[in-house]
Amino acid sequence: MTEKKTTIELKKLNKKFGDIIAVNNVSLKISENDFFTILGPSGCGKSTILRLIAGLEVQDSGAVIINNKDSSFVQANERPVNMVFQSYALFPHLSVRDNIEFGLKLKKISNTDIKIRVEEILELVKMNGYDFKLPSELSGGQRQRVALARAIVNKPKIVLLDEPLSALDANLRMEMQQELVNIQRNLKMTFMLVTHDQDEALSISSKIAIMENGKIIETNTATNMYEYPSKKFSAEFLGRINIIEGASSFIDNRILFNSDTFGKINLDRDIKLPKDGVLGIRPEKIIIETGLNKQKNRVSMNGTITNWTYYGDVSYITIELKNKSKVYINVQNIHRNSLQELNIGKKLFASFDINDLIILEK
């Protein structure tokens, strides 16, 4: 496969607000047609990165390169990027149509072209018929669609989305996530989303960057980020995980991990374990067994259930091993009758595959 074109490149960006370092030496590459997500806890500086790309803030140092052109000091109105704001920021005195046309009119596009494009976009975001409504007459989801339409109608190099779904209720959010992906694929546009919602990031993005305290911790594709994270922070931020601490040693070129929780684990893999490395296992990779599983590639355990949280489709259970360490297990509720077996205080056996272990850097 040929290398994809880079749409946005950030080079060692830095931005401070007073004493607070919002963006700390961030370098990123966003390729064409990516759905790139920056995921991080609130206040980690992810919105600031979007604002720096849009030109609404000026970096202290570093460069913003848009389409191979250094745009670090280009004014916001001259950058080929458009943003969907968290509060939607629709012009309250303009109708839906006027809102969408706003950018096109400034670009001096002929009226007939404007009409055709607005018509297309309204169709795309399923807002046809709402042309002459004011933003105050729309529901949250509809405002969201108009804000998106207003951005993509300009055919920007990249669409920046600043937590656009956070104000919607859960069902509508799921629906809009799916639609965002469809629109992005159909239009072959580059999208960049900022969110603190892990599920949202996993379900819609092609690439995820995890951010903490102004720094990018790790960048990877969505599936790899979940299955093969390399940093403890990103592994923990993307979902529940059992962290296994311990010390490693080499025997015959193989790593023998002496864990606090499960004793000796023979890592049958030819990889380097980083210094202070830990292992991780996702709770859904651990399965409940009827007895002690003695297969070579599996790690077995037995313990007592100390906690059980029911989510309908899955149950989150916590078991306590003999050495007092706790292990999280996600159990799919395949049969409703089997729920009784998960009572607190019950003893059970479980095991996981060594190949599912994640090696993490602290």
Partner 1 sequence: MKKRIQHYTPVNYAKNNTLKIITFIFLVILYLPIINLIIFSFNDSKRNIVWRGFTSKYYEKLFENEMLFLAFSNSMTIAITSTIISTFLGITTAIALWKFNFYLKKYYDVALLFPIIIPEICMGISMLVFFNYINWPNFQLWPFTLSSVIIAHVSFIFPFVAIIIRARLSMLNNEILEAGQDLGASKYQVIRKIIIPFMSPALVASALLAFTLSLDDFVVTFFTSGPNSVTLPVKIYSMVRFGISPEINAISTLLILIIIICTYFAIRFLSKSNREFMK
Site residues, partner 1 (CB under 8 A): 54-56, 75-78, 81-83, 85-87, 89-94, 102-103, 106-107, 134-136, 150, 154
Q: Which is nearer to partner 1, 78 or 169 (CB)?
A: 78
CB of 175 to partner 1, least distance (A): 21
Beta-carbon contacts of 154 under 8 Å, excluding residues fewer than 6 positions away, are 82, 103, 104, 107
C-alpha gyration radius of the chain: 25
Cβ atoms < 10 Å from Cβ of 265 = 19
Rounded Cα distance between 71 and 81, Å, is 11
> 32: burial class by Cβ within 10 Å (0-12, 13-18, 19+)?
middle
Cα dihedral sign for 111, 116, 122, 125? negative
**In whole angstroms, how close is the CB of 197 to partner 1 at the nearest point?**
21
| Count of C-beta atoms within a 10 Å radius of residue 173 | 19
Least separation in angstroms between residue 295's CB and partner 1 is 58
| In the complex, least distance from residue 218 CB atom to partner 1, rounded to whole angstroms | 29
User: Measured from the CB of residue 268, what is the shortest distance to partner 1 in angstroms?
Assistant: 53
User: Across the strands, what pairs with 20?
Assistant: 17
**What is the number of other CB atoms lying within 10 angstroms of the CB of residue 187?**
15
Q: Rounded to whole angstroms, how far apart are CA atoms 8 and 1?
A: 20
Query: How would you label 282-302 residue by residue, b for 16+ Cβ within 10 Å and e otherwise?
Result: bbbbbbeeeeebeeeebbebe
- The nearest distance, CB 124 to partner 1, in angstroms, is 18
Vertex 7: Cα angle to 174 and 123 (nearest 5): 45
Nearer to partner 1, 63 or 89 (CB): 89
Give CA–CA dist 116/133, Å, rounded: 19
Rounded to a whole number of angstroms, the minimum distance from the CB of residue 171 to partner 1 is 20
Minimum distance, C-beta of residue 103 to partner 1, in the bound complex (Å): 4
Phi (first) and psi of residue 213, to 5 degrees: 50, 45
User: Could you tell me which residues come within 8 angstroms of residue 188 by beta carbon, excluding any fewer than 6 positions away?
Assistant: 33
User: To the nearest whole angstrom, how small is the minimum distance from the Cβ of residue 18 to partner 1?
Assistant: 16
What is the CA 130 to chain-centroid distance, rounded? 32
**How far apart, in whole angstroms, are the C-alpha atoms of residue 344 and residue 306?**
5
Cβ proximity to partner 1: between 7 and 154 the closer is 154
